[in-house]
Structure 1
Amino acid sequence: MKNLLKYFKGSAVIFAILAPLSMILEVSMDLLHPTLLSNIIDIGVAEANINYILKVGAYMIIVSILAVIGGVLCSFFASAASMRLAEDLREAIFKKVNSLSFMEIDKLKTASLITRLTNDVTQVQQMFNMALRAAVRSPLMAIGGIIMAVRLSLNLSTIFAVSIPIIIIGIIIILKKSMPLFIKVQNKLDDINLVMRENILGVRVIKSFNLEEKQKERFNKKNKELTVSSIASQNMNLVLSPFTQFIMNLSVVVVLWFGGRMVSYQTLELGKIMAFVNYMIQIMHSTVMVINLMMNFSRAKASADRINEILNMASSIKEKEDAKKLEGYDIEFRNVYFKFNEESENVLEDISFSIKEGERIGIIGPTGSGKSTIISLIPRLYDIYKGEILIGGINVKELKLKELRDNIGIVLQESLLLSGDIEGNIRFGNNFATFKEIEKSAKDAQAYEFINKKKNKYKEKVEQRAKNLSGGQKQRLSIARTLVRNPKILIMDDASSALDMKTQSKLHEAIKNRDDGATIITIAQRISAVMASDKIIVLDEGRISAIGSHDELIRNNEIYRTIAVSQLGEEVLSNV
């Protein structure tokens, strides 16, 4: 938990200081009340002194007003400080996730990240909000109440030596057992968020296969598990409040019993007994507040640990302090081996090839052969564990990450567009692009025609997850978004799979004729998308099966020939 205190900065620090100072004012005034009431009874009422009663009564009104002012100010400052903390925590988590490599991101579930960014941060926010109020008020009120009670009667105050240790021991035992339960609750919340996310994103598939009942049963199961875990965690902590109140109420009965005897023997005034009981009640309320704080702390501690797990996660991809600048765009793989983690098998083995700047390269192979993995290594989205990848003759591990990635444009298999409008989605690739550049990229990506058919053209709204666009339209906008960057290395990872053959042909011709001299790497399932490349790399089970032109591979490579015949027919052989 203390690791999160470093996110208290700026105005949050000022508010965090002002909150307890305001609470001190409220507590001081609250502690005066019983004593003033005692004086009214023992002096004003006993002596029938109306003036004294009115005078002390006026003091009590002023004290009450000051207590309210202190409480309101404390609530305001505590809320402001905790909200600033939550804001900084969310920002820190978001930045951390974006700074991680794909290796770390692969280990984190999306549903879990969302829970940590929302629910876990909220738990920590509520705990700090309560801490800035209760953590000051409760100890001050309890200690102040005990001191004031001792001043009234040392003999009656001995009851605290028995009741307070019993309460403290009970709190420690119960909280120790409840902590693992709160961690379990947060994990169950991750599970239910995962099910909800999958149902929302896959609603079309679920309805198509008539799986609503099955998914409902799955959700109900996770929901019940969360409910059971939540009840178990709350039941453990709910014992605290009744236990504490029982001890404190029993203490009040003991005070009234012995205090009444002292009054009858005229060794203690009636007003002091009433004041002592009031202090006892204040101490009891403070103790209950401490219990609530502990309950919030135990839950927030589980959330804080989950937040720290993200914030303490180090990216496996680090930039050297003396990182070099790019000096060219030739690409070379030298005996590259790659696996996703130490326990997994090799995904790529002994990969070696070279690409000259400006060349057009195709990569093809069966599903799972490692095509997408290869292109993820060029911009260092993953790091290899053996071999070398060089760009411009320099190992990518020695290059500046920003410069490396600024010069590489990737169109991924999944066409992810952001909510907004069409122009904003294309401009996402280059925030400084002019409208003319955006329009040219749209033309090259074969998106110009369908954009201009839209009512609002480039200002046409793109809904969440681009639900109002077809698969082909989304792919073309994704390509336009990458082309507007004018990258020196353009990588297309099966980016035209949703396009018809005619549109695909126009797309590749337009990209080839761009005057930026970019190196183009195309990964595809279709032979037609790569057959015009200067050379084609054929992958099979993580290894290079062959490298050559279309004609060479048709003659010499069985894997490529089989794919070509299956897609283009036997006549493809007669043309070689």
Structure 2
Amino acid sequence: MNLYSKYFEKYKFPFLAAVLCVALEAICDLLGPTLMSNIINAGIDQGLLPKVYYWGALMLIVTAVGACFAVTRNILASKVSQRMGADLRYDLFEKIMHFSEQSTDKIESGSLITRMTNDTSQVVQFVNGIMRIFMKAPITCIGSIILASLLNFRLSLIIYSVVAVVAVLIIVSMKLSYPRYYKLQKAMDKVNSVVQEYLIGVRLVKAFGTYDKETDKFENANMNLMQKGVSSQMIITLVAPLMTLTVGIGTIIVIFIGSRLFSLNLAKPGDITAFTIYMAQILISLVMITNIFNTFVRTKASTARIKEVIDCDEDFTGSGETKELNGDIEFKNVTFAYPSGSGVPAIKDLSFSIKNGQSLAIIGPTGSGKSTIAWLLLRFYDVNSGEILVNGCDIKSLDINSVRNNIAIVPQKPMLFSGSISENIRWGNREASDEMLYQAADKAQAGFIENMPKGYESLLGSAAVNVSGGQKQRISIARGILKNSSVLILDDATSALDAVTEAKVRENLNSKTRKQTIITVTQRCGTAMFADRILVMDNGIKVGYGTHDQLMEECEVYRDIYKTQIESSKEA
């Protein structure tokens, strides 16, 4: 597995030390039956008690040494496998952090969680097993066959036959197990996704009273996981008894033929006893080997899923010109269709420009491409054709970090994180002083923070469930203001605010003392009409661009929106 080569290289010496301990432990275990044979043949059978003491003491010493090797390899195996698991999880998280938008769309979050936890744990278990058991099983099996052959070649022919039958069972088991284990991991993805969706939308479920529907959805996913689990375990459940039966029959044959050979003076009692012990060791080793291959098959399925994450496309690199950007923005004949979408362009041949310090409102019906303009400006995606210019430079020629460091976005659905309100607002600027923090909150009309029990140090729950929708939006707006970037994008960021609060926020943002380009994505004509320029979109096409007064004269779509929202409300 080339995917793990760098980890094995990093932990090469403790890994090899553990493997050496496993090999030496296996040798000590293999010497046990031979020493037992000597105790019987040279001591008990001959009536020589000193020989019994000698070989018995030697057997105890070998067993004690083997135990020391076992303890050492267990310690090494635990440390190396856990450290490797930690490194693998870190690399996966770092990869996900740098996912391109296409990669984010490709693998859903529930599946990513499963891959970072369950699949990684499977790999850790496999590595731990390699160092503890997996190396020991083949050494013990092969060593038992060799030593048994040296004791009595005639009886060893029975072992060869038993091993051949078991080898066929193992091969069949591997071929049947792999697709089942892969489906099992996919079923686990589905369970995680269902649970995650419920936890995110728990309030909506309560509001609509759809508990039964959610329970049924989980029951279906849970039963599917159970069925896939049973299916994946069925192979080993059937194969393991067949292996035990095969080795058991072999042991009976060894005892039967051994007794006949003993009567003909072709075998010694100690040899037959040692053979029986070796057959037991072979049985244990073969069961271990079967488990090894089944674990390998499951790890192979997990590895394929981890590799899908590692092979995903990353976000645009930081290469390009690094410079301080202002708010001069121009779209030139831009056309864009989402890579994982229907192929129909979300924006078609769009051209407009805005100067630094001006405000732009983007308005239009749902699905007209308003938010897509914001995503393109942040370069979450590259355009299919045309150019986006910032400071007169093609956005593709600029360092991606320079572009995003100079743009702040307040999304339509505010995303707040567990932690204090202060920590959430400081996402916009980690180095901001307390005074800057308070000013940003004041401009966002977030005065409610001071009335909370611990003020700015009040803790937010997961997804900020302990504050209202309007409060979330104001905290999110304060975060965007605190960044103090050249461009501020408000993607329907005031939808949960009342008209008075929104007007105060707008007035603070549009202050002439702020040399900042403000782009507001909105469906409210009452919000758009105060911007310096208004871009009207309809079905991905620009149908109007200008001031409120100009659009009222020239743009039918804008007039319809105005009449529907403003004039109808006046009449009411």
TM score, norm. by length of structure 2: 0.96
Determine if the alignment matches structure 1 residue 524 to structure 2 residue 522: yes
Residue number among 451, 454, 458 corresponding to 1:453 in the alignment = 451
Q: Is the 8 A contact 2:22 2:70 kept in 1?
A: yes
1: CA distance, partners of 2:128 / 2:317: 39
Paired residue for 1:141?
A: 140
Q: Judge which range, 321-330 or 386-395, deviates more.
A: 321-330
Write out per-residue CA displacement over residues 423-482 of structure 1, whole angstroms, 9 at most, x where no aligned residue. 1111122222221221111111111x2111011111101111101101111111111112
Pairwise CA distance, 1:141? 0.7
2: CA distance, partners of 1:253 / 1:406: 76
Q: Is the 8 A contact 2:325 2:406 kept in 1?
A: no
Paired residue for 1:35?
A: 34
Paired residue for 1:132?
A: 131
* One-letter identity of the residue aligned with 1:172: I
Q: Judge which range, 81-90 or 299-308, deviates more.
A: 81-90
Q: Write the mapping of 1:9-24 to structure 2, written as runs, cut at 5 A.
A: 10=10, 12-24=11-23
SS at match of 1:239: helix
Q: Write the mapping of 1:85-234 to structure 2, written as runs, cut at 5 A.
A: 85-234=84-233
Q: Write the mapping of 1:217-366 to structure 2, written as runs, cut at 5 A.
A: 217-315=216-314, 317-319=315-317, 321-326=319-324, 328-341=326-339, 343-366=342-365
Q: Write the mapping of 1:409-558 to structure 2, written as runs, cut at 5 A.
A: 409-447=408-446, 449-513=447-511, 515-558=513-556
Pairwise CA distance, 1:320? 7.5
Q: Is the 8 A contact 1:175 1:237 kept in 2?
A: no
Write out per-residue CA displacement over residues 63-121 of structure 1, whole angstroms, 9 at most, x where no aligned residue. 22222221122122112222122212211121111212212211221111111111111
Q: Is the 8 A contact 1:174 1:240 kept in 2?
A: yes
Q: Write the mapping of 1:61-72 to structure 2, written as runs, cut at 5 A.
A: 61-72=60-71
1: CA distance, partners of 2:559 / 2:377: 28
Q: Is the 8 A contact 1:337 1:351 kept in 2?
A: yes
2: CA distance, partners of 1:546 / 1:33: 90
* One-letter identity of the residue aligned with 2:110: A
* One-letter identity of the residue aligned with 1:491: I
Q: Is the 8 A contact 1:326 1:391 kept in 2?
A: no
1: CA distance, partners of 2:436 / 2:43: 88
Paired residue for 1:47?
A: 46
Change (3 A) 1:9 1:359: farther
Determine if the alignment matches structure 1 residue 381 to structure 2 residue 380: yes
Length, aligned pairs only: 570
Q: Judge which range, 462-471 or 252-261, deviates more.
A: 252-261
* One-letter identity of the residue aligned with 1:345: V
Paired residue for 2:5?
A: 5
* One-letter identity of the residue aligned with 2:5: L
Q: Is the 8 A contact 1:338 1:349 kept in 2?
A: yes
Q: Is the 8 A contact 1:175 1:298 kept in 2?
A: yes
2: CA distance, partners of 1:72 / 1:483: 59
SS at match of 1:569: helix
2: CA distance, partners of 1:341 / 1:554: 36
Q: Is the 8 A contact 1:319 1:399 kept in 2?
A: no
2: CA distance, partners of 1:564 / 1:294: 69
2: CA distance, partners of 1:472 / 1:385: 37
Provide structure 2 residue ranges, at least 5 long, that are not aligned to the other structure.
Answer: none
TM score, norm. by length of structure 1: 0.95
Q: Is the 8 A contact 1:451 1:458 kept in 2?
A: yes
SS at match of 2:529: coil
2: CA distance, partners of 1:278 / 1:570: 93
Q: Is the 8 A contact 2:326 2:487 kept in 1?
A: no
Pairwise CA distance, 1:237? 2.1
SS at match of 2:135: helix
Q: Is the 8 A contact 2:331 2:387 kept in 1?
A: yes
Q: Is the 8 A contact 1:256 1:273 kept in 2?
A: yes
1: CA distance, partners of 2:569 / 2:108: 48
SS at match of 1:332: strand
Pairwise CA distance, 1:567? 2.1
Q: Is the 8 A contact 2:318 2:401 kept in 1?
A: no
Pairwise CA distance, 1:329? 3.4
1: CA distance, partners of 2:385 / 2:318: 18
Write out per-residue CA displacement over residues 326-356 of structure 1, whole angstroms, 9 at most, x where no aligned residue. 5543111111011112752111101000111
SS at match of 1:532: coil
Q: Is the 8 A contact 2:416 2:463 kept in 1?
A: yes
* One-letter identity of the residue aligned with 1:7: Y
Q: Judge which range, 547-556 or 198-207, deviates more.
A: 198-207
* One-letter identity of the residue aligned with 1:452: E
1: CA distance, partners of 2:358 / 2:305: 47
Q: Judge which range, 510-519 or 265-274, deviates more.
A: 510-519
Q: Is the 8 A contact 1:422 1:461 kept in 2?
A: yes
Q: Is the 8 A contact 2:102 2:313 kept in 1?
A: no
* One-letter identity of the residue aligned with 2:453: K
* One-letter identity of the residue aligned with 2:366: T
Pairwise CA distance, 1:493? 0.3
Pairwise CA distance, 1:322? 4.9
Q: Is the 8 A contact 2:318 2:400 kept in 1?
A: no
SS at match of 1:353: strand
Runs of 4+ in 1 over 6 A off after TM superposition: none
Q: Is the 8 A contact 1:262 1:268 kept in 2?
A: yes
Q: Judge which range, 322-331 or 171-180, deviates more.
A: 322-331
Write out per-residue CA displacement over residues 513-562 of structure 1, whole angstroms, 9 at most, x where no aligned residue. 27441111111122222221110000000010100111111222122122
* One-letter identity of the residue aligned with 1:474: K
**CA RMSD across the alignment:** 1.8
2: CA distance, partners of 1:397 / 1:7: 35
Pairwise CA distance, 1:2? 3.2
2: CA distance, partners of 1:15 / 1:440: 55
Q: Is the 8 A contact 1:412 1:494 kept in 2?
A: yes
2: CA distance, partners of 1:444 / 1:13: 57
**Identity within the alignment, %:** 38
* One-letter identity of the residue aligned with 2:469: G
SS at match of 2:70: helix
Q: Judge which range, 196-205 or 109-118, deviates more.
A: 196-205
Pairwise CA distance, 1:400? 0.6
* One-letter identity of the residue aligned with 1:530: A
Q: Is the 8 A contact 1:564 1:572 kept in 2?
A: no
2: CA distance, partners of 1:321 / 1:444: 35
Pairwise CA distance, 1:161? 2.7
2: CA distance, partners of 1:327 / 1:405: 10
Q: Is the 8 A contact 1:134 1:290 kept in 2?
A: no
* One-letter identity of the residue aligned with 1:271: G
Paired residue for 2:407?
A: 408
Change (3 A) 1:570 1:235: closer
2: CA distance, partners of 1:500 / 1:318: 38
SS at match of 1:106: helix
Change (3 A) 1:460 1:236: same
Provide structure 1 residue ranges, at least 5 long, that are not aligned to the other structure.
Answer: none
Q: Is the 8 A contact 1:389 1:395 kept in 2?
A: yes
Write out per-residue CA displacement over residues 257-298 of structure 1, whole angstroms, 9 at most, x where no aligned residue. 111111112222101111121112111111110101111111
Write out per-residue CA displacement over residues 225-249 of structure 1, whole angstroms, 9 at most, x where no aligned residue. 2211211111012222112111111
* One-letter identity of the residue aligned with 2:21: S
Q: Is the 8 A contact 1:330 1:357 kept in 2?
A: yes
Write out per-residue CA displacement over residues 361-417 of structure 1, whole angstroms, 9 at most, x where no aligned residue. 111111111100011001101111111111111111111111111111011111111
2: CA distance, partners of 1:476 / 1:517: 21
Change (3 A) 1:249 1:362: same
